Amino acid sequence: MSRRKFICGNWKMHKTASEAVQLVRELRQKLDGTGAQVAVAPPFTALAAVKQALQGSAIQLFGQNCHHEKQGAFTGEVSAPMLKDVGCDGVILGHSERRQYFGETDDQVAKKVRAVLAEALHPIVCVGETLQEREAGRTWEVVSRQVRGALGGLDAAALQRITLAYEPVWAIGTGRTATTAQAQEVHAQIRGLLRELGGAQVAQAVRIQYGGSVKPDNAADLLSQPDVDGALVGGASLKSSDFAAIVTAAR
């Protein structure tokens, strides 16, 4: 069984609603809907407008984060049911910027994963080591702790509904990409851990995206690795021609 490649654009804190709609219009012109699964993750304020601009398109809509509770006194937060209501198909969780700047822990990411699954949304769970951790030879210790922390205790049916994103923190927004060998090595290790957590079928089915300075000129190489099943794209997803070229490279 081959895994369908999955490319998601993480727009982070970029684009007003009208700018987001413009970007989506350009993407719709450049992508023909065949090949890879494609999603965009605009900021919360642009979700409703982008949903409307995506009508009739195969491009999916993702949130960039959510709270684990359904509702309550959590000023500034947005819940999974709210993201579902606005038309999201899934949510990016545990991004390194959430962990680094907002103190998100493995435990919180685990709760969010469950909240997102409970709404029948598709979680993309991000994991990855810092440069310091890599240089100290702790890459797998950190990545495996994050994967176990987020997914431990889920049954095989739940695990199959998740996508993982391996994003070495030192490669995010730095222009410094992991080599294909570095990416493949960690992806294969993650797949081994998925086998341990959920069995061979889960390990075979779950997609593992790579993220970290994916650009049109390195996408094909990275995506040709046997365990690299797609990309989570930051900077290059803000330019329709670059993002479309990455989607094309996934064919």
By CB under 6 A, tell whether 128 contacts ligand PEP.
no
What part of residues 142-171 is at the interface with ligand PEP (CB under 6 A)? 167
Cα separation, 33 vs 50, whole angstroms: 17
Phi, psi of 219 (to 5 degrees): -65, -45
Query: In the complex, what is the shortest distance from the CB of residue 99 to ligand PEP, in angstroms, rounded to a whole number?
Result: 12
Whole-number Å distance between alpha carbons of 2 and 237: 25
Q: How many residues bind ligand PEP (CB under 6 A)?
A: 13
Amino acid at 249: A
* Set 68, 95, 122, 187: catalytic member: 95
Q: How far is the CB of 226 from ligand PEP (least distance, A)?
A: 21
Tokens 């329709």 found at: 240
Backbone angles phi, psi at 72, to 5 degrees: 145, -170
Any contact of residue 64 with ligand PEP (CB under 6 A)? no
Measured distance CA(220)–CA(69) in Å, rounded: 39
Nearest-10 crossing angle of helices 180-198, 216-223? 50
Residue type, 79: S
230 is a site residue for ligand PEP (CB under 6 A): no
Contact (Cβ atoms closer than 8 angstroms) between residue 24 and residue 55: no
Residue type, 242: D
> Least Å distance between CB 31 and ligand PEP?
18
Query: Among the candidate windows 179-187, 205-213, 222-230, 239-247, which touches ligand PEP by CB under 6 A?
Result: 205-213
Of 97, 119, 129, 167, which is the active-site residue?
Answer: 167
Known catalytic membership, residue 95: yes
Residue 235 near ligand PEP by CB under 6 A: yes
Nearest residue to ligand PEP, scored by beta-carbon proximity: 234
User: For this structure, is 167 an active site residue?
Assistant: yes
Least distance CB 55 / ligand PEP (angstroms): 26
CA distance 231 to 209: 5
Binding site for ligand PEP (CB under 6 A): 10, 167, 172-173, 211-214, 232-236
| Catalytically active residues, by annotation | 95, 167
